[in-house]
Structure 1
Amino acid sequence: MTKPAKRPRAAILGMPLRWMGPGAVLVLAVAYALFWYAVRPAGEPVLGYVGQLFGGESVLLYSIALVLVSTLPHVEPIFGGIDHAAIWHRRAAISATVLLLPHIEFAASPEATSLGKMLAVVAICGLMTLVVWAILPRWRTMLPAAARRVVIALLQTRAFQLAARLLGGYERWRGFHRLTGLFVAAGFLHGLLDASAFEAAPALRWSYVAIGATGLAFYAYRELLSRHFLPHHDYQVSGVRTVAADLVEVALRPLGRPLGFKPGQFAMIYLETAEGWQRHPFSISGPAGEGGISITVKALGDHTTRLPDVIQPGMPAVVGGPYGRFDRHRGTADQVWIAGGVGITPFLSWLRSLDGELHENVHFFVTSAGPSPFADEIAAVARNHPRLMVHMVDTAADGRLTPESVLEAVGTEPRRLSVFMGGPDTMLRQFRKAFRAAGVRRANIHREYFQWR
């Protein structure tokens, strides 16, 4: 009887860290609430105290959110990659904003200072605007079908189209998003000035100060110091190749020390185009000539739609990173790779970087509307690696790929599988839920996030 292959040591060591980050956020929030309960001063009104607790929890979650986007190297492994940290940053910030609503309702104090009130208004208006602006791109997934029709009709009106022009664009949102720490600082100072519980319980005050100061220190590091510590590499565009109607591959040649990366990682790419410098995270789709790298860009919106028209060979670029922990070596001996649309890029990097034999049994599912532009390249790699079984799914001819069809084609006990996925968020959420229900271990399901906002 053949013994099952041992899981790589890197996978065993990496699994706890992947889930330690989200679990730590929940533990900190609960522990802070219990601390407020334990040190509640005598005579403090219940509703007012609960309202102040919600304010303190909001500052805690905002501070965690600021830590998560600090780009410090030590944050990334705890959350399983900077893309996962960015998603948890968004979740923590949205949760913190929701907690402001009961805080406003219950914590109003007649003894509040005029400065504290002004700071509260600045903080709430700024943070609410950031959260609403952040969730606008995914409004379709948050509304029932009946409400969507109403919203679509409103979007056709002149007023909404004007607002879209004013608020649209990733770069504009990103510029305003950089003010997050200033709005958190305003809310933090409001709490110091107006929280009545701090006078009777100094332990509450100093724990609040420690939490807020930590978050703001990370924010100051990111805005003022991180550029001096994070590695950046000078590159030049060496080629632009149209792969499909809405897909291009851009080759970048190093002008100095090249970026060292692992297949499956992504980088922050700064491109000087005909419309000025533009910044965006891109998965590295593989090595390129002269020690360079290549990225695959799909027209998803913002400046990526216009990228093929504004970028030309010879233009300068700056590459930051690498980031991400999307690594097939963290998986088991039996693996499933699922690539939807532009989510194929990290898998291309894996295939293009194969050195020697593929030791895992891999079923690679590639789904696209029409024939995949990378079908011939993938088939050529598969011919040299018999353990790689490729399943091309043309949704226009074959219908949508489903989790059930994947498991049926693989035919392996789900608990032995590792699943790696890249593609549209809605699709991956559906697949993740189905794989968990079928018995795939939570720690063995890996995905890469493409939309951080």
Structure 2
Amino acid sequence: MNPLGLFLIVVTALFPAYQLITLPDVTDQVALFSQYLGLAALVLMAWGQILSTRLPGIELVFGGLDRIYVLHKWAGIVAMTAILLHDTIDAEMRGLGRETALNELAETLGEISLYGLLILVVISVATFIPYHLWKWTHKAMGALFIAGTFHFFFIMKPFQMSDPAGLYTSAFCLVGIMAYIWMMLPERMRPSHSYKILNLERTGGALAISLKPDGKGIVPDPGQFGILRFTGSGQSEPHPFSFSKISGDGTLRVTVKALGDFTSNLHNELDVGQEVHVQGPFGRFRLSNRGPEIWIAGGIGITPFLAWCDALDTHSDPVHLIYCVRSPQDAPHLTEVQALADEKPNLTLHVIFSYEGKRLSADLIANMVGTDLSQMKVSFCGPVALRRSLQTGLLRYGVTARRFHFEEFEFRTGVGLRRLALRVLREKQVSLHG
């Protein structure tokens, strides 16, 4: 992610602390700290709403959309932690006056917002929750954010709404509410480009969907993706897909593998000529054409690399493309990628079939490439488990995190609790059999 974006979020969440410290005649520092936690939580929740808008230019500040979703997730988690501490640490200060009915209503809405957000955040980070319920939690979070904003506006506090602390936090709340309203608009009301399905083709257990623009289309860079909404079908939920081909005439292609409820039935819902709305392009997974590189594709992870191969300059440094699949029958666009490798002298293709008992490892990559890996950039798209294994193994060959490039194409992620639990369990078993 772009450090500038992370720095911006951290600084804006910390700034209310300075505003409160400079308040005159405040002696209860514990309550003041609790007040700050409430303000910081509102700022972070506002950022969560802003980051979810996918507005133009947001990737320039915060990095690729995948990193933005990671920031969105952790902004929510940190905000929830701050709210819990705000509720635990008494924020009430003496001498602020007598409570009115409006103050009491604000207190009640604050409690509702607290417990509602706690439930929704737990549901949101639980990856086993069905997608439609998970998406509903994000919409409900915005409503609870509005309740928290009401709590802030009308609760008794050691400053006036016209003071800098009041104006600053109010501005974030209002922008966050505007972002929430924007995200609640029907998909058809958001900016998108209209396409028609030009062709449908089965390839290696996947579905290749070619799209022709109906008017002015988007112009993605190789490796970018779009968010597609198929109209006139039972699969109208927008979903992100990488472009596996970007033609000069504006035609685009996405290749979809049956990996979930949405994609498993997609081939039964689509027809040639059907309208598709495309938002984007998004993503920072782009071809560099600078220095020797290794591209690693796992299964359907070949899709962005197909666009890379097509755009690869034949005069650039050598590239090794490693394509890992179960069998030739399960390899989307295998013939196409082989033809591209034959066409481009600087592109070497290595296909690894797992049904033959082969497993990709850092040692195997070193043997295949046969050069100093520490001087090469590695780009990866595929299963998370394989990525983590290769990241660890390639470190021994000098491939640092800076040289290992990937995108989190799985936007819906947990917080690592399952992985932590499995690690603790393994260590426990080792100690018992020690």
Relative to the length of structure 1, the TM-score reads 0.78
Secondary structure of residue in 2 paired with 1:345 = helix
Change (3 A) 1:429 1:206: farther
Q: Are positions 1:362 and 2:352 aligned together?
A: no
The CA deviation at 1:397 is 2.5
The CA deviation at 1:439 is 3.9
Q: Are positions 1:79 and 2:62 aligned together?
A: yes
Q: Are positions 1:57 and 2:37 aligned together?
A: no
Q: Are positions 1:22 and 2:12 aligned together?
A: no
Aligned match of 1:338: 296
Aligned ranges for residues 408-447 of structure 1 at < 5 Å? 408-432=367-391, 434-435=393-394, 439-447=398-406
Distance 1:192 1:415 in 2: 55
Change (3 A) 1:94 1:200: closer
Q: Are positions 1:292 and 2:276 aligned together?
A: no
Relative to the length of structure 2, the TM-score reads 0.82
Q: Are positions 1:242 and 2:202 aligned together?
A: yes
Output one character per residue of 1:128-179: Cα deviation in whole Å (capped at 9) or x when no partner.
3432232222x6xxxxxxxxxxxxxxxxxxxxxxxxxxx6234x53344234
Aligned partners of 1:52 and 1:195 also within 8 Å? no
Aligned partners of 1:116 and 1:191 also within 8 Å? yes
Secondary structure of residue in 2 paired with 1:313 = coil
Identity of aligned residues (%): 28
Aligned match of 1:6: none
Secondary structure of residue in 1 paired with 2:3 = helix
Secondary structure of residue in 1 paired with 2:84 = helix
Change (3 A) 1:41 1:176: same
Change (3 A) 1:442 1:44: farther
Aligned ranges for residues 71-150 of structure 1 at < 5 Å? 71-107=54-90, 109=92, 113-137=103-127
Comparing both chains, which one has the higher relative contact order based on Cα–Cα distances under 8 Å and sequence gaps of 6 or more? Answer: 1
Change (3 A) 1:358 1:221: farther
Distance 1:33 1:350 in 2: 46
Aligned partners of 1:198 and 1:205 also within 8 Å? yes
The CA deviation at 1:196 is 2.6
Task: Indicate the larger mover: 219-228 or 419-428.
Answer: 219-228
Distance 1:201 1:408 in 2: 67
Secondary structure of residue in 2 paired with 1:50 = helix
Aligned match of 1:144: none
2:175 to 193, 203, 214: 214
Change (3 A) 1:121 1:298: farther
Secondary structure of residue in 1 paired with 2:159 = helix
Aligned AA for 1:257? K
Distance 1:236 1:392 in 2: 33
Change (3 A) 1:173 1:200: closer
Change (3 A) 1:336 1:182: same
Aligned partners of 1:61 and 1:93 also within 8 Å? yes
Change (3 A) 1:201 1:236: closer
The CA deviation at 1:229 is 7.2
Change (3 A) 1:202 1:407: farther
Distance 2:170 2:395 in 1: 41
Secondary structure of residue in 2 paired with 1:328 = coil
Aligned partners of 2:195 and 2:213 also within 8 Å? yes
Task: Indicate the larger mover: 402-411 or 217-226.
Answer: 217-226
1:48 to 31, 38, 63: 31
Unaligned 5+ runs, structure 1: 1-16, 140-166
The CA deviation at 1:36 is 5.3
Structure that is richer in helix per residue: 1
Change (3 A) 1:242 1:200: closer
The CA deviation at 1:18 is 3.1
State the superposition RMSD in angstroms: 3.1
Task: Indicate the larger mover: 175-184 or 299-308.
Answer: 175-184
